[in-house]
Chain A
Amino acid sequence: KAGVTQTPRYLIKTRGQQVTLSCSPISGHRSVSWYQQTPGQGLQFLFEYFSETQRNKGNFPGRFSGRQFSNSRSEMNVSTLELGDSALYLCASTETPLALEDNEQFFGPGTRLTVL
C-alpha cells in the first residue's frame, strides 16, 4: 500500500495570505489527524477527522480549519497567515478513529510552510 502522502511538500507564503494543505491517507484509512511541528512548541495536535466529521480539535485559533472528503482525503486551511505559522505540518492516518485502543497512526512526510 502507498503511504500517507502530503502535498505540497514545501510552500512559501507571505503574511496575510491563506494556504491549503492536502493529505491523502493510506488506502482504507478513514481517520486523518493533523499536527503542527515547530522548534519552539514541538508537535501539537490540530484536529482529527473521521468519516468527514471533525472528532477532536486542539488549542489553535479559528484561522486553522480543516475538512475531510468522502474518499477520506483531508485538507487543512490556514487563513490570514502569521509569521508564527511557519512550521512543518504533519498528517497522520489510522484505520479507525484515533480514540480506539488498538490502532496505529501512520505519518506523512509533512508540508514545510514558510511565512515571510
Chain B
Amino acid sequence: DIQMTQSPASLSASLGETVTIECLASEDIYSNLAWYQQKPGKSPQLLIYYANSLNDGVPSRFSGSGSGTQYSLKINSLQSEDVSIYFCQQNYDSPWTFGGGTKLELK
C-alpha cells in the first residue's frame, strides 16, 4: 500500500497569514493527489485534484503543487472559515490511501 505522510500534524496561524501543508507519498504517485477539507463536525469536501486543479467553488486562496512523492497545499490570506482538518489522498493505486490529517487552528 502507498503510505501518505502529512506534516505538520497540527498548525496554528493568524488571520491573513499564508500556511503550507505537506504530503509525502511512499512512492511516486505521478500527481494523482487530492486535498480535502473537513470542517468541525462536517463531512470532507474536495478542494484540489490532480495535485493542482482547484475544484469548482473553492476560493482561489487555496492552491496545490508538487510532483513525484512530494506535494503541498498552500492557503493564502488565512480566513476564519479555513479552520479545519486537511487530508491528502493518493488516487494512483488501490487501496486509495489518505494522509493522517493536518489540524489548522487560529492563533
Q: Do A and B bind each other?
A: no
